[in-house]
């Protein structure tokens, strides 16, 4: 198979929101890394030429795409590209300035994590890609997982100083709208009743990888 789109669901009701041609992965576990734990496993195991591992909300999130995107189809996923982003912001958007605005102290934590992992971080990126919503050549995605994502997740989990920083409350606004039952389920899964900043740091890691490796990004 030349390409594959995998969409992650946490509840069977989300299946109908996925693309009809996507392979659906039911994730019964939740870690502080959120979907990144699943991405790591699925990408490393992939035998396709290109792979995308996205949330069940991919179609819904397309409404935030700046411009008029092409429809995501199997034919598009099999076209010629290194990385195909499913998110696009204005040319004036600054990924890390926005993150600092949403999550106070974000940039300082991100820099310390990158320094500890030996990853070059020089600030704003040319091609911000959000939500892990992209497709990439599998060789590129596997390199990202093995040299960036996995080492950083290991640091976040096992380095006491880094762990303390990344477990900081992200103050994610969506949690305010959660029901008491949803908050209790979150606490049962990850032992805290808030969203830590860890997954939001990881969400921006691929953009830094792309910049450091001078990888070409295509858009819908």
Q: pLDDT per residue over 19-44, tens digit each?
A: 999 999 999 887 778 899 999 999 99
Compute the radius of gyration of the chain from its Cα atoms. 17
Query: Does the residue 141 lie in any domain?
Result: yes
> Has residue 171 been placed in a domain?
yes
Q: Domain total for the chain?
A: 1
Element at 137 (helix H, strand E): strand 134-137
The secondary element (H helix, E strand) that includes residue 8 is: strand 3-9
CB burial string 142-171: b at 16+ within 10 A, e below: bbbbebbbeebbebbeeeeebeebbbbebe
Query: Which helix or strand (DSSP H or E) is residue 210 part of?
Result: helix 205-212
Q: Give dist(CA 191, CA 1) in Å, integer.
A: 40
The domain of 126 spans: 61-219
Q: Is residue 14 part of a domain?
A: no
State the pLDDT at residue 130. Answer: 93
Give the Cα-Cα-Cα angle 167, 94, 59 (nearest 5 degrees): 75
Which pTM was predicted?
A: 0.90
Q: In what order do the strands lie in the sheet with 83-85?
A: 23-26, 3-9, 50-55, 134-137, 83-85, 217-219
In angstroms, the CA 56 to CA 199 distance is 17
CA end-to-end span of the chain: 21
The answer to whether residue 46 sits within a structural domain is no
Q: What are phi and psi of 64, to 5 degrees?
A: -90, 0
Between 105 and 143, name the one with better pLDDT. Answer: 143
CB 112 within 8 A of CB 197: no
Chain segment 131-187, per-residue pLDDT in tens: 999 999 999 999 999 999 999 999 999 999 999 999 888 776 555 555 666 666 666
Q: Considering the domain boundaries, does residue 86 fall inside one? A: yes
Question: Would you state the pLDDT for residue 190?
Answer: 59
Residue 23 domain-assigned?
no
Token pair 């830094």 is found at 208
CA torsion 8→110→44→212, rounded to 10°? Answer: 120
Cβ neighbours around 120 below 10 Å, total: 9
Which of residues 175 and 65 earns the better pLDDT score? 65
- Give the mean model confidence (pLDDT) for residues 123-134: 94
In a domain, 52, yes or no: no
Are 106 and 60 within 8 A, CB to CB?
Answer: no
Report the range of poorest mean pLDDT among 27-31, 64-68, 205-209.
Answer: 64-68
**Is residue 130 assigned to a domain?**
yes
């Amino acid at each position: 198979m030349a390409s594959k789109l995998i969409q992650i669901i946490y509840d069977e009701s989300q299946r109908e929101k996925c693309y009809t041609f996507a392979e659906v992965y039911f994730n019964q576990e939740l870690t502080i890394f959120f979907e990144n734990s699943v991405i790591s496993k699925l990408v490393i195991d992939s035998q396709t030429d290109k792979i995308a591992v996205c949330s069940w909300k991919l179609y819904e999130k397309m409404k935030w795409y700046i411009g008029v995107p092409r429809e995501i189809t199997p034919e598009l996923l099999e076209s010629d590209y290194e990385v195909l982003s499913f998110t696009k912001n204005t040319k004036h958007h600054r990924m890390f300035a926005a993150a600092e605005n949403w999550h106070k102290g974000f940039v300082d934590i991100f820099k310390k994590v990158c320094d500890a992992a030996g990853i070059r971080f020089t600030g704003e990126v040319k091609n911000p890609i959000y939500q892990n919503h992209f497709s990439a050549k599998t060789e590129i995605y596997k390199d990202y997982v093995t040299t960036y994502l996995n080492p950083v997740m290991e640091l976040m989990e096992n380095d006491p100083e880094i762990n303390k920083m990344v477990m900081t409350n992200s103050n994610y606004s969506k949690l305010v709208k959660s029901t008491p039952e949803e908050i209790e389920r979150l606490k049962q899964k990850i032992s805290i009743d808030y969203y830590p900043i860890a997954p939001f740091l990881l969400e921006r890691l691929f953009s830094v990888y792309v910049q450091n490796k001078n990888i070409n990004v295509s858009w819908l």
